[in-house]
Structure 1
Amino acid sequence: MKYTDEQLKLSLEKGFINYQTAAHDSLKPQLLTNRIAGGENVLTTLLEDLQVCQSFFFSVAFITESGLATLKAILHDLHLKGVSGKILTSTFLEFNNPKVFKELLKIPNLEVRLTSLKGFHAKGYMFEHAHNYSMIVGSSNLTANALKVNYEWNIRLTSNENGELIRHFLHQFEDVWNAAAPLSQDWIADYEIRYKETKEQQKLISVLEPREDFATDSMVRAIEIKPNKMQTRALENLAVMRNQYQRALVVSATGTGKTYLSAFDVRAAAPRRMLFIVHREQILKQAKADFMRVLGAHDEQFGFLTGTEKNTGAKYVFATIQTLSKMETLRKIPKDHFDYVIVDEVHRAGADSYKRVINYLTPEFLLGMTATPERTDNWNIFKLFDYNVAYEIRLQEALEEDLLSTFHYFGVTDITLNGRLLDEEVSFNELVSDLRIDHIIEKITYYGYAGDRVRGLMFCSRKEEAHELSKELNKRGFKTKALTGEDAMEVRLQTVDELENGELEYIITVDIFNEGIDIPAVNQVVMLRQTQSSIIFIQQLGRGLRKHPTKEFVTIIDFIGNYKNNYLIPMALSGDSSLNKDTIRRSVSDTSYIKGASTVLFEQVAKEQIYRSINTARIDHFKNLKEFYLTLENRLGRQPELYDFVEHNSVDPATLLENFKHYDQFLSKLTEQPVLYTEQEDGMLSFISQELLNGKRRHELLLLQILNSSDSITIEEFQSLVDSLGLAFDKKTILSAIEVLQLNFFTAAIRKKYAHTPLIQVNSSTVEMSLSLRRALENDLFKKRYNDVIRTGLRKSEIYDSERELTLYEKYTRKDVARLLNWDQDESSTMYGYKLKHNTCPIFVTYHKSDEIDANIAYGDEFIDDAHFKWFTRSNRKISSNEIQKLLTGYQRGDEFHFFIKKDNDEGKDFYYLGKVDILMDSIKQEFMTDKVGQPTPVVTMTMKLEQPVEFNLYHYLTQA
């Protein structure tokens, strides 16, 4: 859209003269910063501008591989759309590594030139749109830290094409561009020589300092190792727990330093003897080295208990479970021989070998450590440790604390065969076809890796696939080896050594490297299998998350086909367990939950496949609900209440009860025990669970909460309370809440569903609890469930804007809207696309109509831009029709028009709320549609202006096909 001069003037007035000026949000001058607490960063705006531009021009002094990686997915999509750009950079200070120039050459829609301009230090990003330009100028170079982490200041401005600032920027860019050298392979070869010479000179003139990494075992004892932030907090909790309990569990993401943490606590506890248990022998030597660094103890104080060594008399013993669990070994060890026992990867403790050891030994303190306490076999690790969780840090927190390697995740599109994407029905031959192998090579080459050589892990779905892929990749010049569960441990260890030493480029495997093995140098993880479990997904991603001097980041390449379980990908990456489809969708479009310099990026086609999976999958299937319920029950050691699901970021209680009248009906199916409620008790519990649990309005819940502790309250007193809490308030809202609790709002069919049992009664101006509810609350179980719903609903209500009846971008059904707009009756069944009532008019639009819909209702509703929408009334309407005249009269007298939209019918009954709208009266037109028999049918169209532009991610989710 071409912005008018007046719109631009208003945006400049808002930015430079008066912040209270009403202006288009996407036009106003903006200060772009990286603010972790608010989820804000420069990269988000940069990607948004790229996504909608027609061409782009970057002028940046410094580029890193990690910075370029943040743009690769969107540059791929722009290439498919025919959009290209230019990058002007330099060799200033020889900062740019030669490899980043090689990566730049891989991007087909990018032209790069190098300026030799002395002191070139420019940082500017310009985007050409249809009728205007936007630009970002400030302190951020094209590095991941500058775009996501560092303290940076950048200004974003918008200008029409004739703006002087834009013209000046373009002239400056063109002047330097025309004098700059094109990037080429020959230029890179020359630069590599200069780059190496410069780095060698820098080494010669630098002051040499003693290096601790040459330390011997005896020197190690003199080096002080300090705990990081996570370890410090965990140690404080462990100190308390050691004084109170005999057992404790630490849940800590892979790569966050669990072994060092346990060593620090052993140092603090100063046990007489310590035992450290692992499940694989190759881990023991590294664990011992870590303990030596922390404890500063002598070699003779450390011993191994393995198949070849039996040094149980040492002060610090490191044992494999395979050797320790043998009865002939255990019998030789007194039960209280060790007073501090540590079990690494303790999620394995459900095995008989672990049970035997743990049941036999009687230490003063038992510490368990794991990254994945949730188990697919439902074995309860928390119970083993008496539900004492000393500390828990998951992926997002670990990234924020900078404990893990930066990663760039790319969800890429798998191949299309015979017009369809790879799906569950794929044959073995298709998985290893030349077409797919060429596609794999194309993607792993394009998205690349950090460091001097690739050290990659490929996870595929079948053993035969791993072997065939390895064979075919080797034919094409790669150095790979397949490993499966059939390979002996010696072979696995040798293969890992070959990967780390650079003799191999890839290990191709199925599941054997999901956990329990460290290859810190891994700089590329390739997922060639559909995601079946969030746990396994994170385990495989985690193989590359350990920090290592040879890599700046790790590249994760996930090949996404047409798989029904694709919805698990955003769930795993975000850590979301709500099973709420809208929350999962937002985790695809907005990935600001990924902390630090890491990024999650999807190619557009792959993103659409995930949306399709979210829409069509039975995410709230009882099997999934049961799994999450049992996980939480294991965690708590008791039957969870609905509030617990919110408190522990588990299933959204509203999703849990989507197909159940109330929680006890769900529990009844789970336990196969009957629900023992009277008809009225069942009706009232069903009512609050189905109508109030979602928390979309707080007033009803507050009134019930008050009546729990007070016999009655006057309407005026309740009004004063609501007002004092800063909630959306007028007398209509209060009366509406009262009508809802009396069931007067609902249709006869719904009142019957709730046993015709109101929760309150009104005497004159006083509100009291109904007699039926008073009696029901004498039932302890009913009372427990009733109060749980109120408490949970109030907690869920916190996400909604308390000062408005409807919250921007949240989702509502037609029935929600009728209630929240204070209609006296639920008229959702006759609301259809719009309805004018009680001085309000909600408008509901399904943006993408089904191909099967009748032509006479296939309206051409469309966004003109992010702030304007062309809307069609019902068909067979003229401007002179009573309905249209009533609509326009209502608007002119000040009735509120509210706009709701969903992308398509697969999203269910809920619509996103986009706010109030104004009708642009000069846009109203009489048009005609063609009906199903080819005849013209009258329809009225008009342009509606939204009170504020739709936020970027939602706008593009809705408008992209």
Structure 2
Amino acid sequence: MENEDIKRELSLATTFGFLDNHQSGATSELLPQLVSNEPNDTLWEHIRYELQTCQSFSFAIAFITEDALTPLKVILADLATKKITGMILTSNYLMFNQPKVFTELLKIPNITVRVVTREGFHAKGYFFEHHDYYSLIIGSSNLTRAALLRNVEWNLHFSALKTGAVTKQILNQFNNEWQQATMLTEQWIEEYRRLFEANQMAKSRVTIENKFVNKIVPNRMQSAALKELADLRKIGEKKGLVISATGTGKTYLAALDVRQVQPKRMLFVVHREQILQKALDGFKRVLGGKDSDYGILSGNRHEEHAKYLFATLQTISKKEVLESFTPNQFDYLLIDEAHRSGSVSYRRILNYFTPIFCLGMTATPERTDDYSIYQLFDYNIAYEIRLHDALKEKMLTPFHYVGIQDYEFEGRMIDDKTPLRLLVTKQRVNYVLKQLEYYGYSGTQVHGLVFCSNVIEADEVAQYLTKNGHPAVKLDGSDSIKQRNQVVSQLEQGQLEYIVTVDIFNEGIDIPCINQVVMLRNTQSSIVFIQQLGRGLRKYKGKEFLTIIDFIGNYKNNYLIPTALTGDISRSKDNARADLALQPILGLSTINFTEVARQKIYEAIQVAKLDSFATLRADYQELKQKLGRIPLLLDFQRVGGIDAEVFADNSQLDSYATFLKKMKEQVDLSEYEGQVLSFVTKELINGMRRHELLLLKLLLKKKVKDQDFLQILQENNCYLNLEVIESVTNILSLNFFDIKSGKDNKAEKYGKRPIVKHENGEYRFNSKIEESLKNSDIFYKLFIDVVATGLNKANNFNAKQPFTYYQKYSRKDVCRLLNWSKDVSAPMYGYRVGEDECPIFITYEKDNPEKNRSARYENEFFNTGLIKWYTRSPRHIDSKEVQQLLAHDCNMNFKVKIRLFLKKSDAEGKKFYYLGDAQVDLDSVREQLIQQVGKKPRAVVSMNLKINEPIKYGHFIDITKR
């Protein structure tokens, strides 16, 4: 913007922010606003946005922690390529800043750092220079992970001209401090480290060690699992399976369950000898008792008479050892890493012993080598806690994921077909080393795990690392258990910095000290990706966070990365794109991509088929194995790896029954039964409005009187008025869909006749459906499954109003939820002015502006609560629909309520995010001419729409950032 434009916008922003919030028109980045770490509106998101749009920056921050620098480095790396630099002024006040923080700051090439060494510097300010103005964030937040993401902080984010008094006062203060501060150098850091360590030693001498050992008590999720296990036993079940992410305390959970069962004898079976002693020690902490109660049965220890016996698979599965025990010798049998229990050795043990209860534990049940461990444990999944749940519960170490572009060779990025010789060139390994050094690790020494795509590459990488002063060893499947254990021990003791491997450490390894995971391979599977990422998430003394560095090439499977990181099961491209753009925050874990890496993933998402039939088949087969029966849609919604709505959205499937037939399952339905299932699946399973679903559920038992229907709606807190009751009848009679002829007529596609009849104050199914529900078990089962699934999904929506903020709706969905009598979505396009309500659908970015006439007048957000909007052409201020939108009474109550829906681009599909209600800013209404190439100018009316609930900052940035 030109200087005069900036002055005008800042004047509007100042008026809006400090004088009168009814005034409008200022752009969002200029508006003063309080930042207090609300969801999707954290300080980190504000800083990230400002850095990505500024010309230079200056921070005055007293306290800085290493865990805040890792995500910051990703953005600064992109800025360095644009020659954008910054200054950071920090302090040694109270010796809060660790020496390593200063070392990490010195690594960043495009910043200059100085240290205020006088007592009492406690400033917290972030300043971003733009063309004619500064954006400033001043408040309570230091540069720490908690302050950026979680703590309740008060920070004012505002803008001011460079010539403004406030700007000059702040910058003068910064410059005065800067001139007096000490330049950060390696020599200064060494002197500070000496003083810091002396200070820490002095503190430690006055610290009294607390030797009191508290009784181990279960955390919230362990408590829930213990209850489920107890409930299983109450109903007579003999087996149970616990699925729990690595590092979430499976061993302690097992010990706590043993404590609540109190068996006479227990047998714990593992397949790796090196974890026997750790498991025994964990049980002893929970259970207490004499040392003689605990024993190990392995190749070199035979303490088989212990009350609590910990045995290796290799030893106890031997025929002579196994038969030295009676089948009922143990009341409680524990199988660790139960996904391996399909092997002959494990099955021999399970078939021999007859305990009162058998518990299997695993982090990765999917890795079963085609043998169903679910069947082995009678399909009793007692409890399941996956990675994302564990992070939310703070059971794991937070991580900083860094997705960066892989090495380019002669202008070409590494891809699926890159020859092996190029993967191990000196230039590529030097590039990798530079990135590892830049992004760093938590703690005093790196303990790294590097995943490569093949053994030759792993060997070469290990050699290059060692030659460059980073001792590393390659391990693969050909190495013995003894060799692996020895190398792991060397890593733990600091004799090695890196283990370079190919897949063998995906699971089944416990190295808590790992503080850096490096991915030098294409992502082939979400499961493997999470397994590898999870290797470093176990908590460890001195490890505040895990750094994950993913080298992203031009790979076709890149689309798996955002969905794996967020745990999204929708198989939706627009959700994957949103995750990529928003770079979400998971508790105290951050996800960050460099611009080039983000673009490579975006390109992979564009061409991927996330909901292909092959993918659905694999999901189905996996869940069928897990359940031991044909899965229903509700099973997918509750425990499957995919959202049930994916089946409904698939254009090749009329209903789930169609899919089951393709899977060669026995599904005998009449043509009409298939049409009815198609209707409830395609139209109602999304759960956006629970009214129809609740009525159908009631009708499965009996005919329903009007008052009974109203009562059930009230009991479920559903919004209620005459219009919505009439709309329900209209939907279930199929009148809503009866708008076209032939193949396009949805009513004919759904069987034409009303699904539900409403006569004489009573609802009932039509006679054909009543007959089918009575005589066809499979139809009844599939029908009630869709209804139950829809009601399950309805929990994602606010029952007390038609629309829910930030949920996505198609134009047809909006027609239904506005209680319109017909589906008029096809000719609606950008908006439709109804008698009382007007939905407006905005596509913020036009994909082909040179071809798209609507792009001639683009919508523009001024701020998070104000957007410029244009009518279709030709329209004038005195046009009927414009006058309808402007009509209001003396109290400024508008006759027509505007509902605002928006998507970023057409690439996001047919659905729009609901942003809330909006009102016309009457002072902004203008009639103007739109120029069109080769055509006469056409009149439109522009106006600003004020959104009642301003958009969350994270969503706003996603929408407006180009």
TM-score by length of 1: 0.88
Name 2:18's counterpart in structure 1.
12
361-370 or 119-128, which deviates more: 119-128
CA distance in 2: counterparts of 1:957 and 1:421, whole angstroms: 27
- Residue in structure 2 matched with residue 66 of structure 1 by the alignment: 67
Spell out the pairing of 1:584-595 with structure 2 (5 A cutoff): 584-590=576-582, 594-595=586-587
Report what 1:622 is aligned to.
613
Give how far 1:729 is off: 5.4
Give yes or no for contact 2:694–2:712 (8 Å, CA) kept in 1.
no
Query: Structure 1, residues 22-42: CA drift from partner, whole Å, max 9, x if none?
Result: 99988777665567xx68754
Aligned equivalent of 1:505: 497
Question: Structure 2 vs 1, CA of residues 80 and 599 (structure 1 numbering), >3 Å: closer, same or farther?
Answer: same
For residues 335 and 717 of structure 1, the distance between their equivalents in structure 2, rounded to whole angstroms, comes to: 58
* Contact in 1 for aligned 2:41/2:953 (Cα 8 Å): no
Whether contact under 8 Å (2:926, 2:943) holds in the other structure is yes
What value does the CA root-mean-square deviation take over the aligned residues? 3.6
* Cα deviation, residue 681, structure 1: 1.9
Q: CA deviation at 1:781?
A: 3.0
Secondary structure at the residue paired with 2:500?
Answer: strand
Cα drift, residue 835 of structure 1: 4.9
Segments of structure 1 that go 5 or more residues without pairing to the other structure are 213-221
How many equivalent pairs are there? 934
Residue 860 of structure 2 corresponds to residue 863 of structure 1: yes
The answer to whether the aligner puts 1:928 opposite 2:931 as a matched pair is yes
Q: Which amino acid aligns with 2:616?
A: L
446 and 862 in structure 1: CA distance in 2 versus 1, 3 angstrom threshold: farther
- Contact 1:697/1:805 (<8 A) preserved: yes
* Closer, same or farther: CA 592–633 of 1 in aligned 2, 3 Å: same
Residues in 1 aligned to 2:412 and 2:849: alpha-carbon distance in whole angstroms: 21
Q: 1:175-216 deviations in whole A, cap 9, x for unaligned?
A: 222221222223223322322333334345x25548x6xxxx
Q: Are residues 1:759 and 2:726 paired?
A: no
Alpha-carbon distance in structure 1 between the residues aligned to 2:855 and 2:138: 45
| Closer, same or farther: CA 424–852 of 1 in aligned 2, 3 Å | farther
Is 1:143 matched up with 2:144? yes
Q: CA deviation at 1:428?
A: 1.4
For 2:156, give the aligned amino acid: R
Once residues 189 and 657 of structure 1 are traced to their aligned partners in structure 2, the CA distance between those partners, rounded to angstroms, is 63
How far 1:528 moved relative to its partner? 1.3
> Which of these residues, 710, 723, 743, is aligned with residue 734 of structure 2?
743
Name the CA distance, whole Å, in 2 between partners of 1:752 and 1:952: 45
Aligned equivalents of 1:239 and 1:724: distance in 2?
Answer: 32
Alignment correspondent of 1:227? 217
Q: Deviations over 1:454-483 (max 9, x none)?
A: 110000111111112223333433322211
SS in structure 1 at match of 2:366: coil
- Matched residue of 1:777: which SS? helix
Match of 1:484 in 2: 476
Q: Counterpart of 2:890?
A: none
Distance 1:565 1:13 in 2: 52
Amino acid at match of 2:353: L
CA 937–475 in structure 1, closer or farther in 2 if over 3 Å, else same: farther
Look up the match of 2:428.
436
Q: Are 2:786 and 1:789 aligned?
A: yes
Specify the alignment match of 1:559 in structure 2: 551
797, 810, 822: which one pairs with 1:825? 822
Q: Which moved more, 1:804-813 or 1:506-515?
A: 804-813
Q: 1:116 to 1:879 in 2, by over 3 A?
A: same
Report percent identity of matched pairs: 43
SS at match of 1:745: helix
Q: Deviations over 1:733-787 (max 9, x none)?
A: 4433332222222233222211212213344776554333333332343233223
Quote the residue 1:217 is aligned against: none
Name the CA distance, whole Å, in 1 between partners of 2:26 and 2:852.
38
Q: Distance in 1 between matches of 2:297 and 2:821?
A: 76
**Where does residue 799 of structure 1 map in the other structure?**
796
- Map residues 833-852 of structure 1 onto 2, 5 A cutoff: 833-836=830-833, 842-850=839-847
1:388-447 deviations in Å (ceiling 9; x for gaps): 344433323333443322322212222345655433223213322344323322321211
Deviation readout 1:296-325 (Å, 9 max, x if unpaired): 455555443333344433333322212222
> SS of the residue aligned with 2:736?
coil
State the alpha-carbon separation in 2 of the partners of residues 593 and 678 from structure 1. Answer: 49
Aligned ranges for residues 241-320 of structure 1 at < 5 Å? 241=232, 244-320=236-312
Q: Is 2:677 the partner of 1:685?
A: yes
Q: Name the CA distance, whole Å, in 1 between partners of 2:53 and 2:826.
A: 39
Aligned to 1:891: 885
Deviates more, 1:285-294 or 1:248-257: 285-294
203 and 7 in structure 1: CA distance in 2 versus 1, 3 angstrom threshold: closer
Provide the rounded CA distance (Å) in 2 between the counterparts of 1:237 and 1:809. 34
Q: 2 CA distance for matches of 1:93 and 1:741? A: 70
Q: Pick from 650, 661, 667: which aligns with 1:668?
A: 661
Contact residue 409 and residue 556 of structure 1 kept, 8 A? yes
Q: 1:419 to 1:913 in 2, by over 3 A?
A: farther
Q: For the residues of structure 1 that align with 2:886 and 2:412, how far apart are their CA atoms?
A: 51
Give 3-state SS (helix, strand or coil) of 1:927's partner: strand
Range 168-177 or range 459-468, more displaced: 168-177
The residue number in structure 2 matching 1:154 is 154
The equivalent residue for 2:126 is 125
TM-fit CA distance, 1:352: 1.3
Q: CA deviation at 1:689?
A: 0.8
Describe the superposition over 1:868-907 as per-residue Cα deviations: whole angstroms up to 9, x where unpaired.
Answer: 5566666xx5556x9x945534433455555544344433
> 2: CA distance between counterparts of 1:312 and 1:282?
18
Query: Counterpart of 1:410 in structure 2: which amino acid?
Result: V
Judged with a 3 Å threshold, the aligned counterparts in structure 2 of structure 1 residues 627 and 127 are, in CA distance, closer, same or farther, namely same
Residue 728 of structure 1: how far off its partner (Å): 5.2
Tell me whether 860-869 or 352-361 shows the greater mean CA deviation.
Answer: 860-869
Separation in 2 of the partners of 1:532 and 1:68? 30
Letter in 1 for 2:123: A
| 1:593–1:623 Cα change, 3 Å | farther
What SS is found at the alignment partner of 1:113? Answer: strand
Question: C-alpha offsets along residues 337-392 of structure 1, whole Å, 9 cap, x if unaligned?
Answer: 33322211111111111111111112233221111223364533233223334443
Separation of aligned partners in 1, 2:17 and 2:663: 57
Q: Secondary structure at the match of 1:275?
A: strand
Contact 2:59 2:126 in 1 (8 A): yes
Q: In structure 1, the residue corresponding to 2:495 is in which secondary structure?
A: coil
1:265-316 Cα distance to aligned partner (Å, 9 max, x none): 4455444433221111222232233334444455555443333344433333
Shift of 1:91: 0.7
- Kept in 2, the 8 Å contact 1:267–1:295? The answer is yes
Specify whether residues 340 and 761 from structure 1 end up closer, same or farther in structure 2 by C-alpha distance, changes over 3 A only.
closer
Question: 1:513, CA displacement in angstroms?
Answer: 0.9
SS in 1 for 2:503: coil
SS in 1 for 2:179: helix
Supply the distance in 2 between the matched residues of 1:72 and 1:339 (Cα, whole angstroms): 54
Q: Hey, what's the Cα distance between the residues in 2 that align with 1:404 and 1:143?
A: 19
Q: Flag the 1:936–1:456 CA change in 2: closer, same or farther, 3 A.
A: farther
Asked if the contact 2:623/2:640 (under 8 Å) is kept, the reply is no
User: Alpha carbons of 1:208 and 1:678: their partners in 2 closer, same or farther (altered >3 Å)?
Assistant: closer
Question: Where do 1:800-815 residues align within 5 Å?
Answer: 800-815=797-812
The residue matched to 1:694 in structure 2 has which SS? coil
What secondary structure, in the 3-state scheme, does the structure 2 residue paired with 1:250 have? Answer: strand
Distance in 2, matches of 1:821 and 1:256, equals 46
Q: Distance in 1 between matches of 2:580 and 2:402?
A: 12
Per the alignment, in what secondary structure is the counterpart of residue 826 of structure 2? helix
Matched to 2:942, the amino acid is: M
- Match of 1:429, SS state, is helix
CA drift at 1:656: 2.1
Cα distance per residue 1:785-813 (max 9 Å; x no partner): 22332232233233234454444433222
CA distance in 2, matches of 1:422, 1:924: 53
Structure 1, 388-397 or 762-771: larger mean CA deviation: 762-771
Residue type of the partner of 1:174?
A: N
Code of the aligned partner of 2:664: T
User: Structure 1 residue 847: deviation in Å?
Assistant: 4.3
Partner residue of 2:892?
none
What SS is found at the alignment partner of 1:511? coil
